Amino acid sequence: MKFFVDTADVAEIKDLAASGLLDGVTTNPSLIMKAGRPMLDVIKEICAVVPGPVSAEVTAVEHKKMLEEGRKLAKLARNVTVKVPLTPDGLKTCKVLTSEGTMVNVTLCFSAAQALLAAKAGASFVSPFVGRLDDIGQDGMYLIDEIMTIYRQYPHFKTEVLVASVRHTQHVVQAAKLGAHVATVPPNILRQLFKHVLTDNGLKAFLDDWAKTGQSIL
């Protein structure tokens, strides 16, 4: 499974990238707002830090303007992935940009039918929002199961399932068990994947015993 981090905080991205765990980055207008900087500057900087796909979202809702914005974003760096909404205009834009060699992430997916359409339109990624489905009493991970089942029936589909709106580490584990290609994870959740009380306790015990030896490796 690939790990993307879901943030526009460049300092966070640099820190996590140093771990070697990051395969890409996703951003959206809300995350750009939190960053408090011009969007194009932020995307350029992120693309220079992370060589993998960096999702930058259009803000237009009509196809013609969406396409103009998408083309402008794609020119920022070779690893920009233009993010479009799962609407008729978004899928039209996806088809054109994909034909031009641009990676496209179709976002705001909430049903298996929508994911099927995204694959038909040639999306590089489709982003089902599991946490938001959980919020309204539905099972977000069941959607991932449905999408993966459908995609496996059609090997010619190249669209990768990018699990989004991840709320806790079990979302990541469950998505991996289902074979999802990518999870995009907030920085705090990505760091939680490291944590286990037995790891902490074991390390403390080893270090306490080492201190008693009075030795030093260096």
What does the block give as tokens for 24? 């890409």
Catalytic residue among 83, 120, 158, 204: 83
Sign of CA dihedral 103, 23, 175, 181: positive
83 in catalytic set: yes
Q: Classify 182 as helix, strand or coil.
A: strand
Rounded distance between C-alpha atoms, residue 179 and residue 176, angstroms: 5
Other Cβ atoms less than 10 A from the Cβ of 133: the count is: 19
- Could you give the angle at the alpha carbon of 146 between the alpha carbons of 144 and 149, nearest 5°? 105
Six-digit token string for 118: 């995204």
* Residues 186, 168: Cα–Cα separation, whole Å: 9
- In sequence order, the β-bridge partners of residue 135 are none
Just list the catalytic residues. 83
